[in-house]
Amino acid sequence: MSEIKRISTPMSDETVAGLKAGDNVLISGTMYTGRDAAHKKLTDLIAAGAELPFDLRGQVIFYVGPTPARPGNPIGSAGPTTSYRMDAYAPKLHELGLKASIGKGSRNSEVKEALRRHKAVYLAVTGGAAALVSKSILKAEVVAYPELGPEAIRRLEVKDFPAQVINDMYGGDIYEEGRRQYERK
């Protein structure tokens, strides 16, 4: 098992280059939330040549639709959404500087190629650990598309947000590596 790497946002090419599939990370800084409806709106803005609600360069998007916050908490339970739902949109966002996305499940070959080409990574958090993940979120505010409710884009301030690198910029894929390790020959 690899050591835990502490990383900060915004992420640089150098930070991404130091991450390998299987690495465990703790992220501190700003990240954004967004699911498929928000991704569709972002790509529509890009296609129209309009300004995005936040600068993608160096950023991290967490695929989540959190539950309402309890009094005194910045956010409710924050479990990851299945990532393949964003696969149609992710390559364009990486082209514009997005350095990482966080969700659960595998990504398609186009997303993996975009990670290699644009020096980015895909991270996962454990499904079912939503209450634990939310403890690392210090602040949450809606910055775009409030009409989407839980799926609005939020800016999160996080400290020691736990994740694992699934796909690195070198083509590494921890899911494929794990599958190969246990396949019968």
List residues with catalytic annotation.
39
Residue 161 CB partners (closer than 8 Å, separation 6+):
26, 27, 28, 31, 133, 136, 137
Q: Using CA atoms, how far apart are residues 4 and 24, in angstroms rounded to an integer? A: 5
Is-cis flag, bond preceding 71, omega within 30? no
What is the three-class DSSP state of 164?
A: strand
User: Which helix (H) or strand (E) element contains residue 102?
Assistant: strand 100-103
Q: Are 26 and 5 in contact (CB under 8 A)?
A: yes
